[in-house]
Structure 1
Amino acid sequence: MTTLLLNGRVHSPAMPDASAMAVRDGVVAWLGSDDVGRAQYPDAHIVDLDGAFVAPAFVDSHVHLTATGLTLTGLDLRQATSLRHCMQLLGDYARAHPDGAIWGHGWDESGWPERTPPGTADVDEAVGSRAAYLSRVDVHSAAASTALRRLAPGLAEAHGFSAEQPLSGDAHHLARAAAREGLNAEQRLNAQRTALNTAAALGIVAVHECAGPEIGGLSDWDEVRGIEHGVEVVGYWGQAVCSAAEARELIARTRARGLAGDLFVDGAIGSRTAWLHRSYDDAADCCGNAYLDTDAIAAHLGACTEAGITAGFHVIGDAAVGAVVDAFERVVEEFGAPAVARCGHRLEHLEMVTGEQAHRLGAWGVLASMQPNFDALWGGDDGMYARRLGTDRAGLLNPFALLASQGVPLAFGSDSPVTSMNPWATVRAATQHQTEGSALSARAAFGAATRGAWRAAGVRDGVTGTLVPGAQASYAVWEADELEVSAPADAVQRWSTDARSRVPALPRLDDALPLCRQTVHRGVTIHG
């Protein structure tokens, strides 16, 4: 049976003026005008779009499903406006949920008037003798109650331990593992399904789950991989190896798409654990954490390249980026640039990269999986980046235009629950970068959140992530108002914005974001 969508606005590079689309056997069969569609497919099942906008479905290139679902179904502290408000939200939640451990996420003291994170005494006052884990918004540090700390053996001896302040580094990983043990199977499954349902409702048909031993462990990974859902889960396992044999064994055990994702070279700027050459402006003796050195990075890259497996790392600070680029250079010298490029190695976040480093990464075919909402939340002269690093370094973060100009393929995601999974917010943030010269056009940003994210997952057929004849019918139907062809005000435009140029238009993102009416993956409706 052919399905014929009529009376809409279809985003297609093959037919920019299309108002109709035919789908057969999960594949786009045809695009064109309503009259021709009716004549060509007289027996088709008709769907009247009533003027809606149809576009390729989104792919989120970096998520953590269980943590996202726990935030959606539980204690979301991203709304806290002060330390007092944060503790009020915690106390209210504890009283409303009197049983079991408490898992919360999202506090960010950098925007509070006190600029003071929650301490152990603060948490204990709100929850009493209960175990409580409250991750900072970047999930690289967490406040923990005394009761939870007692459940984490060896915590006081671990790097990053503080008796009163939030835990970071190895101490944070121990506390997070103890908090995970307090969750039952029903809580975890409910959280995972909620996250996937939310993704589908936002026009997302696939997510890249970035898992690892310190994030959720193998048990969480196996649970996520075992869920049957319409949203496709592309899994990456962040664990370092030293040989090709070890890489192959780990892939066989996990069935991951690659040994990549959140394999931590360093931490996060907000928690002051990103690895820097020069100390933080607001912490003179601190240069962050280095979890892997150049030798370990090169060993992992070399092992994966020899095995033909995608490798990758979580890398944010300039010292961490430098170590990764140096390691890539060693591996390129050993195996050659073509062998490295064939593997589709990827770097997550890549916030503090220079032009020279971008040029080398582009030449080696390394992909960048990035999160534009980081700049929307923390960029600008008065943002968290500027307070942590000073305006000189902060203005160099998340340089999307630079990376694109040097041939580095971009894939966009949310790092949910760190930022919202709403993909139109991601596109908007990339087009409204707070540093002059770093923004992308809406067309380029949309591409990074669709076909670019498919490419980062190893799908390189040239059509997936677009709506052209022969492509998989993975699309979303949106309620959107005015469409336009736009470019950043501070960028050189590489195509005409004239309506007659036949460049496919996208919704204006100045005000309300488009609302998803339906999500379809390979011809099957998964939302709406």
Structure 2
Amino acid sequence: MWMIIGANGYTLDPRANSFAAEVEGQSKSRDFEALVIHHGRVVAIGEAADLRLQFGAKVSRIIDVQGATVIPGLIDSHLHVAALGEQAAELDLSGTSSARELLLRVREFANHVPDDGWILGRGWDDNRFTAKGLPTLKELDEASGTKPMLLRRVCHHAYLANSVAFLRAGLSLDAKDPADGYYGRDEHGKLNGQVFENASRPLLLAVPKKTTSDWKNAVRIGMETALKSGLTGVHTDDVRSLGSFEAVWHTYASLIHESGVRLRVHELVDFSRMDETIGFLKAMPKEVTRDAWISRGAVKLFSDGAMGSRTAWLSEPYSDLPGWLGTPIYERDELFERVRIAHEQGLAAAVHAIGDAAVELTLMAMAAAPSVNQRDRLIHAELIRPDLISRMVDLGDSLAVDVQPRFTVSDFPWLADRVGEHRVKYACAWQKLKNAGVHIAGGSDAPIEPVSPLMGIHAAHTRRGPHSEGEGYGPEERLSALDSVVLFTKGAAFAAGQEDRFGTIAQGREADLTILSKDIVNPSCPDDILESEVLYTIVGGEIAYAFPGGFKEESTG
């Protein structure tokens, strides 16, 4: 049994006696000063003097956090842990300001790639290029030399490839477009190095497969990065990376239970691996599948692409590309069928939908499917309409919407040009959703956006970039600091159907806590959220991450 004292603590639990009423979305004061942890659970919350009297002789260690803020453990409702770790070994193209700079980075990185290796990179965003335009295929070939190259756009819905990569993938420069994607072409109709959506499949299959050890290392890096960021839990999508749900489960089980990386994992199920997943879990002993650290999530599907690559599916054409609506991944009947099949197997659906047409079709498919004792998830919902909010409300507690606050920082500098002023007011419309009673959860979509939940909370509260000024993009949709924290605590727990275990601090619940140097629930200024250091990440009553130096423990003997 051990104790934390000196806390500026918030339970986020309205049932707590000390919980202050909300005023304009902000809580008035802290809820507790101390708490006691035993066997991984919170056994008491209150004032330090009272808890010392009640538990003093039983407590073996005390940590005085000296006024630091203690909140329920932060949870990321949508990210890709394996890809986050994988990114560490690839060319980082985030922040690239032009095609010229991209080519220079490729040329330099290529010098360190073995002769038989691939040049793999990610993170480029042409919407942020100061000089518009992408490299030509000839320029990509010159920069990469004789090594095959594949570079993911920041959204993961578009790529740049060189001629060697096309050759390795069995694609000629006259290759036809598949039904669920397309290739960029030059004035002669030849491939120009740009690849969109599932047209990337042959290229991705041509990249040498990582070993089990490679993936385990990538997952470990991703998990440790999450813990350092203050996350106690993640809702992740790794099956397409590791190849099977079984491989994902065993990788996490090994890292958590054998290597001691203490992070709670809620794993989505790729639709193509649904039957395999069901068979694997049925064959496993019940005590294994009821693991408190790893849980099976909803079935992952995609209904469209992304705004940045203009593959998000809109109900009216793009304002900056007349006549173009984007790319639906499925025809209406196919998406309906896939959601129905998932529900009939007893699984909820988690559907990526960014454009309003994709959101509409997804909500229709969810409403039409037989009821299931789990919660469907609408992932992103970046552009919506008033009638779509009504559809979400109709689904009630059976739906959670996973939003990514950092999209306001990445997309809004150019989004009005893409969708028009008349539609941009319904982009990332979180306050409208909250006011309507729609359940929303907060995620990063890392590595597409930074994994830091503090950056996500700041973006939800300000709708502007770090340390920038002004009222932000669509200021009427800003959330209070408290509501922004709730996205990554109670909101995320609700999305996974785990609101009875996580998201608040309460007696008897798992001791999942994030301890921060500044008050992000009731900050003196918004940038306090960004400037806060993660001091401790505590998961299941264990210190999973501690800021170097930390706090001294008080002697109990």
**TM-score normalised to the size of structure 1?**
0.86
* Cα distance in structure 2, aligned partners of 1:388 and 1:223: 43
* Cα distance in structure 2, aligned partners of 1:218 and 1:484: 38
Letter in 2 for 1:515: E
Please say if 1:140 is aligned against 2:168. Answer: no
* Cα distance in structure 1, aligned partners of 2:281 and 2:196: 29
Corresponding pairs, count: 490
* Cα distance in structure 2, aligned partners of 1:109 and 1:5: 48
- The 3-state SS of whatever aligns with 1:21 is strand
CA change 1:73–1:52 in 2 (3 A) is: farther
- The 3-state SS of whatever aligns with 1:268 is coil
* Cα distance in structure 2, aligned partners of 1:408 and 1:77: 36
Structure 1 runs not aligned, ≥5 long? 486-504
Match of 1:191 in 2: 218
1:222 offset after TM fit, Å?
A: 5.9
Letter in 2 for 1:176: L
CA change 1:456–1:329 in 2 (3 A) is: closer
Letter in 1 for 2:303: V
Please say if 1:157 is aligned against 2:176. Answer: yes
Contact 1:4 1:23 in 2 (8 A): yes
CA change 1:227–1:375 in 2 (3 A) is: farther
Cα distance per residue 1:293-318 (max 9 Å; x no partner):
22122222222333331112111111
* Cα distance in structure 2, aligned partners of 1:124 and 1:169: 22
Letter in 2 for 1:157: K
* Cα distance in structure 2, aligned partners of 1:70 and 1:149: 22
* Cα distance in structure 1, aligned partners of 2:195 and 2:455: 31
Letter in 1 for 2:510: Q
Match of 2:244 in 1: 218
Please say if 1:233 is aligned against 2:251. Answer: no
Match of 2:10 in 1: 11
Identity %: 27
Q: Aligned to 1:38, which of 44, 47, 52? A: 52
Letter in 1 for 2:502: T
Q: Aligned to 1:468, which of 496, 506, 510? A: 506
Match of 1:401 in 2: 431
Match of 1:173 in 2: 201
Q: Aligned to 2:374, which of 335, 343, 349? A: 343
* Cα distance in structure 1, aligned partners of 2:199 and 2:538: 43
CA change 1:375–1:260 in 2 (3 A) is: farther
CA change 1:247–1:8 in 2 (3 A) is: closer
* Cα distance in structure 2, aligned partners of 1:296 and 1:370: 25
Cα distance per residue 1:250-291 (max 9 Å; x no partner):
875998724433x11110010111111222222224221111
Please say if 1:377 is aligned against 2:410. Answer: yes
* Cα distance in structure 1, aligned partners of 2:337 and 2:244: 23
Letter in 2 for 1:6: I
Letter in 2 for 1:7: G
Contact 2:481 2:520 in 1 (8 A): no
Q: How does 1:98-497 map to 2 (within 5 A)?
A: 98-99=114-115, 100-153=117-170, 156-159=175-178, 160-162=182-184, 163-179=191-207, 181-211=208-238, 213=240, 217-218=243-244, 221=248, 224-225=251-252, 227-228=254-255, 229-239=261-271, 248=278, 257-261=296-300, 263-331=301-369, 335=370, 339-340=371-372, 342-364=373-395, 365-379=398-412, 383-433=413-463, 434-461=473-500, 464-480=502-518, 483=519
CA change 1:195–1:484 in 2 (3 A) is: closer
Letter in 1 for 2:477: S
Contact 2:5 2:35 in 1 (8 A): yes
**TM-score normalised to the size of structure 2?**
0.82
- The 3-state SS of whatever aligns with 1:153 is coil
- The 3-state SS of whatever aligns with 1:520 is strand
- The 3-state SS of whatever aligns with 2:422 is helix
Q: How does 1:86-101 map to 2 (within 5 A)?
A: 86-99=102-115, 100-101=117-118
Contact 1:56 1:450 in 2 (8 A): yes
- The 3-state SS of whatever aligns with 2:476 is coil
Contact 1:279 1:286 in 2 (8 A): yes
Note the aligned Cα RMSD (angstroms).
2.6
Contact 2:366 2:376 in 1 (8 A): no
* Cα distance in structure 2, aligned partners of 1:177 and 1:287: 28
* Cα distance in structure 1, aligned partners of 2:41 and 2:74: 17
